[in-house]
Structure 1
Amino acid sequence: MLWLDAEAVRNFVMVAELQSFTRAADALGSTQAAVSVKLKRLEERIGRKLIERTPRRVRLSADGALFIDSARAFLTAHDNAVAGLSCGIRRFALGIAGHVAGPEVTTLLARLNKHDPALTIEVQVDNSSVLLDAFDRGKLDAAIVRREDDRRDGEVLGPEHFGWFATPDFHHRQGEPIRLAALAPACGVRDLATRTLNDAGIPWVEVFLGGGSSVVTAAVSAGLATAVFSSRLAPPGTVEISRKFGLPEVPSSEIVLHSTLTDRRSREALRILACAFREHRATAA
């Protein structure tokens, strides 16, 4: 009788979904060599080649494409059976900073849910300082935020570059205060923008303050103000205007993952999210 090892199947699914042995190993908290060995043993056991690997590409073989849906179903049944041994509800509260969360977040969470449907994720979107405070008080199990001040803990997911963005027809007279649209005073990106202008001796005035990121985006897109945005999240139709108007360079920062999760499946799910986040940024770069 043919029987399947759950961990070997999990390695196969991870390689197939991430299309990389390296990223799969990172997501599983393993090594590339260990992932390769487990996949090879699975292929030998079922007598089929599941993954085609070249120096430039990793993809499903014809047999792998036939097996992938059954493999996912097998893992879901296995994980649900294991979860049934525990009375506790598996969940974690995840915070994502508003200046970090882009349109890709929905896709990333969908991938995470597909990987582990038994895990309940509660998402809170706010500014980095609020989320870090909630994390430190134990209200969040994990938080993906912009690095604040000199705090050095957490796992770096990647750099975050900022710029001054406005519409191409944004008008500003030299010598007049630069018109800003910004979130509430507690927002770290707002503080970064105003501090950068103050250090450069450039006068500024806030013509839109608060009301959420949609209000800031609307004000900038309407040509009424400028604002600091992450270069990857600037509103469509806007351009970087620092050179045009002599605005100072905005210091770069880092996106950091903080987590207190310890159980294997939750940590694995979080690694999936972190790996997918890095993968999306690399694709968008």
Structure 2
Amino acid sequence: MKTLDIEAVQAFVLTADLKSFTRAAEAMDTTQSAISLKIKRLEDELGRRLLDRTPRLVRLSADGDAFLTPARTLLAAHHDALGSFGLERRRLVVGISHHIVGAELPVLLRRMKSAEPSLVLEIRVSTSRQVLDELDRGAIDAAIVLRHDNRRRGGEVILKETFGWMASADFEHHGGEPLRIATQADPCSVRSMAVDALNRAGIAWTEVFVGGGVVTIGAAISAGLAVAALGRRVAPADTIDVGAQLGLPPLPSRDVVLHASPGDQQTKQSLRTLAAAIRATAAKH
């Protein structure tokens, strides 16, 4: 009977979920070449090609698609077996800035669950300032925030978030009228960034919707109520950047940074997986 290497199966599932050898390597704290070698050996053992590889794209082959669900089941059974002696389920508490999670959150959570089925992940969404305050108080294990200034240095830069003036494709703005915008409640650094850009450009604006996070702001712009300054990565799929069309000023990009309190090796591994999953959500953008 053939025996499959659990780490190789995990490498395959992570690569399939994250659609990247690089992201999978980050999640497993190894190199891209090591991930590629593990999967190659797994393919040799199965006698099947699981992934189609191109310089810019990794996707499942037909055999890989057929193997993915059983591979997830195998990993889950492996985790269950390791936890069969009454080991406590680990909890990871992460604070995330409002503007970092949006419509891609279900994908992010699915990838985390696939990588660590036994992990209890608690996510607290708030402003970057409040999230960092919670980290300083020891209330959370890690904070993922937008870096708007130099007051908090250090941390791991996960990606660079690019912002656009996002709106529905049928949004109508009539010349001579103030630009209708949707924003996060003050204080919000992204709100300040957008308002400052409009004021410097001499563009009149009026606030017509105040939301409590990307999901609510996204709903407002999808409904055609307004334009919003949002990260292109987290904006609703049915919205577009109307900045050039409406003559709006360009918005600066911001680093998405992971700050973590000292933790054990398992916590660090979980945070590596989370960071890799967030990076993977930027791939299509």
TM-score interval, smaller chain: 0.7 to 0.9
Q: For 2:116 and 2:269, how far apart are their aligned partners in 1? A: 9
Report deviation, 1:198.
Answer: 4.3
Q: Is the 8 A contact 2:103 2:235 kept in 1?
A: no
Partner SS state of residue 163, structure 1 = strand
RMSD (CA atoms): 3.7
Report deviation, 1:119.
Answer: 0.6
Report deviation, 1:214.
Answer: 6.2
Question: 1:130-162: CA deviations, max 9, x gaps?
Answer: 222222322222333222322332222322222
Q: For 2:253 and 2:15, how far apart are their aligned partners in 1? A: 33
Q: Is the 8 A contact 1:95 1:124 kept in 2?
A: yes
Cα distance change, pair 75–263 in 1 and its aligned pair in 2 (3 A): farther
Instruction: Give 2:242's match in structure 1, choosing from 217, 240, 243.
Output: 240
Q: For 1:215 and 1:60, how far apart are their aligned partners in 2? A: 34
Tell me which moved more, 197-206 or 255-264: 197-206
How many equivalent pairs are there?
A: 280
1:128-167 correspondence to structure 2 within 5 Å: 128-150=128-150, 151-165=152-166
Q: Is the 8 A contact 1:163 1:242 kept in 2?
A: no
Q: For 1:104 and 1:186, how far apart are their aligned partners in 2? A: 24
**Counterpart AA for 1:75:** L
1:163-242 correspondence to structure 2 within 5 Å: 163-165=164-166, 168-173=171-176, 180-200=181-201, 206-209=207-210, 216=217, 226-234=227-235, 236=238, 240-241=242-243
Q: Is the 8 A contact 1:91 1:121 kept in 2?
A: yes
Q: For 2:86 and 2:264, how far apart are their aligned partners in 1? A: 13
Q: Is the 8 A contact 1:49 1:61 kept in 2?
A: no
What's 1:101 paired with?
Answer: 101
Q: Does 1:123 align with 2:123?
A: yes
Q: For 2:17 and 2:226, how far apart are their aligned partners in 1? A: 42
What's 2:283 paired with?
Answer: 282
Q: Is the 8 A contact 1:26 1:275 kept in 2?
A: yes
What's 1:114 paired with?
Answer: 114
Cα distance change, pair 200–96 in 1 and its aligned pair in 2 (3 A): same
Report deviation, 1:29.
Answer: 0.7
Q: For 1:101 and 1:54, how far apart are their aligned partners in 2? A: 29
What's 2:47 paired with?
Answer: 48
Q: For 2:43 and 2:96, how far apart are their aligned partners in 1? A: 39
Q: For 2:107 and 2:48, how far apart are their aligned partners in 1? A: 29
Q: Is the 8 A contact 1:51 1:58 kept in 2?
A: no
Q: For 1:52 and 1:185, how far apart are their aligned partners in 2? A: 47
Partner SS state of residue 99, structure 2 = coil
User: Percent identity at matched positions?
Assistant: 44
Report deviation, 1:109.
Answer: 0.3
What's 1:6 paired with?
Answer: 6
Cα distance change, pair 207–37 in 1 and its aligned pair in 2 (3 A): closer
Rg comparison, structure with higher value: 1
Q: Is the 8 A contact 2:171 2:225 kept in 1?
A: no
* Bigger relative contact order (CA 8 A; separation at least 6): 2
Partner SS state of residue 24, structure 2 = helix
Q: For 1:265 and 1:276, how far apart are their aligned partners in 2? A: 17
Partner SS state of residue 282, structure 2 = helix
Cα distance change, pair 138–43 in 1 and its aligned pair in 2 (3 A): same
Cα distance change, pair 160–27 in 1 and its aligned pair in 2 (3 A): same
